[in-house]
A and B are shown apart, each in its own frame.
Chain A
Amino acid sequence: MRVLYPFLAVIAFILIALVGVRIPGGQSLIGIVLPYLAILAFTGGFVFKVLGWARSPVPFRIPTTCGQGVSLPWIKQNKLDCPSTFWGVAGRMLLEVLLFRSLFRNTKASIHKGPQLAYGSSKWLWLVGLTFHYSFLVIVIRHMRLFTNPMPAFLHALEFGDGILQVGAPQLYITDLLLVGALLFLFVRRLVMPQVRYISLANDYFPLFLILGIGITGILMRYFIRVDVVGIKQLAVGLVTFSPKIVGDIGSLFFIHLFLVCLLLIYFPFSKLMHLGGVFLSPTRNMANNSRMKRHINPWNDPNITPHSYAAYEDEFREFMVEAGIPVDKELAKPAESAAAGPAAEAAPAEG
């Protein structure tokens, strides 16, 4: 159910788009109205979500220290995994965001007769995760050729690099293969690995299917069922210059592709995909480990919470203290006050 429902949902969306382009006005709806709505929902939703996070303070400085912290001058600090300065944190965040540093540490534990636990290196998730994200990024940037006229120069280099294999015409993009391959790996991994299968929800499969749907329709359009690129670009540039029009017969496959992309954009801010923004705001990663050097302020720190006072403590134990020769602030004035046992007089259970 957790796999089937999201799959059926994506199929249903494809069918809706397929029918949609055939009804009068359907093409304008999917090609013009929906993209505007989607980009508004995406940008607005994203900003709204991040501001929602920002509304809550970070009351305590809680970095996860993953190496030696700043200490005595002759002890070598691990400045990237346990930074104590702004630039150290910037470096840590760059490693995290650009290279998935934490995931790179991944190990796989197994238990054997003995009992004996073993921890093997396990970098596939890191490698494929990185491949997926970078392929997706390159593909998104590459699509800018359809939204800009004339195309900015740096895109030529990207186009050239991605098509460097010079296979077929139009040239095969390496990232197309990598994206679909990575998505299939991530999907199969969810199905096959018992632990991951058990934790996976419908909301984990849905974006996989949706992006797979986008990738496959894109690939079909480029290599198999050709569509009119000039017509598409006229629409795309029209959209971003606020003069959109649909010219000629673009092909329904394009509208399915676009429909799924719009769904992804709309779905994004409401889903786990917001990890794109969240990774920057994670307090265990984006804070310097300098809490003993520099006081961190908690805006809701309650000054009314005070410890059980020394005076009250001494009042309760003064007699014993005096008898034991422990200095007191107030001498015993009159015959000993009773050291009445409170409700917690009984000692805590012994350790171990």
Chain B
Amino acid sequence: MYDLGKIIPGLIVFVGLVSFPIWYNGGDAGAIPKPEKPVLAKECVADIQYMRTTHMQLLMAWRDDIVREGGARTWATARGTEYNRSLQSGCMKCHTSKKKFCDTCHEYAAVTPYCWDCHIAPQETK
């Protein structure tokens, strides 16, 4: 006949699933990541917007170039500032805390990069 006893609960489940993020968050957008900026450095290896969106690909490019193609370690920015193309002894020289820099956004965006499977994160100063 009509089976409303099954259809209505079914629709409720459907609406529940569709609205999952609404009731899961419960109106709370949570904290917005505020990565700690280096105090001393004047510029990064590339412009901020590029670094924000594409740093992971830049790191991969460094790795491939240095490890596989024997590329140079030392590089320079457009303005001529020299830097080390290295995660541990490059990036982390300025961005000294993985926790306060890397993790803030990674946790927010829920990504788990596998950099630290091999690389050793700098000692966190408590």
Contact = CB atoms under 8 A, between A and B. Distances in A.
Contacts of B56: 169-170
Contacts of B14: 43, 46-47, 277
B33 A230 contact: yes
A280 interface: yes
A39 interface: yes
Given A57-B2, A145-B109, A230-B109, A42 B30 contact: no
B105 interface: yes
Contacts of A169: 56-57, 59-60, 113-114
A62 interface: no
Contact of B108 (A58, A149, A159): A149
Interface string A234-248: 100110111100001
A36 B37 CA distance: 35
Interface residues of A, number: 52
Interface in A190-247: 226-230, 233-234, 237-238, 240-243
A54 B57 contact: no
Given A50-B7, A148-B25, A156-B112, A299 B1 contact: yes
Nearest to A297: B1
B112 A47 contact: no
Interface residues of B, number: 40
Contact of A159 (B19, B25, B112): B112
Interface string B73-102: 000000000000000000000000000000
Interface string A35-59: 0000100110011001100100111
B109 A237 contact: no
Contacts of B29: 149, 234, 237-238, 241, 243
A351 interface: no
Given A47-B14, A59-B1, A144-B20, 10 more contacts: A54-B7, A57-B1, A148-B21, A148-B25, A149-B29, A159-B110, A166-B114, A168-B60, A170-B113, A228-B49
Interface of A: 39, 42-43, 46-47, 50-51, 54, 57-59, 144-152, 155-156, 159-160, 166, 168-171, 226-230, 233-234, 237-238, 240-243, 248-249, 251, 277, 280-281, 296-299
